[in-house]
Amino acid sequence: EAQVTQNPRYLITVTGKKLTVTCSQNMNHEYMSWYRQDPGLGLRQIYYSMNVEVTDKGDVPEGYKVSRKEKRNFPLILESPSPNQTSLYFCASSQMGERKGGETQYFGPGTRLLVL
Amino acid sequence: GENVEQHPSTLSVQEGDSAVIKCTYSDSASNYFPWYKQELGKRPQLIIDIRSNVGEKKDQRIAVTLNKTAKHFSLHITETQPEDSAVYFCAATNNNDMRFGAGTRLTVKP
**Residue A40 above 90 pLDDT?**
no
Q: What whole-number percentage of chain B has pLDDT above 90?
A: 80
Share of chain A above pLDDT 90, in %: 81
For A45-74, the pLDDT digits (tens) are 999 998 899 999 998 999 999 999 999 999
**Non-local CB neighbours of A98 within 8 Å, separated by 6+ positions:** none
Tell whether the model's pLDDT for residue A101 goes beyond 80: no
User: In B, what residues contact A, Cβ < 8 A?
Assistant: 1, 6, 9, 31-32, 34, 42-46, 49, 51, 89, 91, 93-103
Q: Which residues of chain B are within 8 Å of residue A102 when distances are taken between CB atoms?
A: 31-32, 51, 93-95
Identify the pLDDT of residue A102: 65
| Cβ count near B57 (within 10 Å) | 15
Write the DSSP assignment of chain A as a string of letters: ---EEEE-SEEEE-TT--EEEEEEESS--SEEEEEEEETTTEEEEEEEEEETTEEEE-S--TT-EE--SSSSB--EEESS--GGG-EEEEEEEE--GGGTT-S--EE---EEEEE-
Could you read off the pLDDT of B64-80 as tens digits, one per residue?
Answer: 999 999 999 999 999 99
**Residue from the list B42, B97, B102 with its beta carbon closest to the beta carbon of A41:** B102
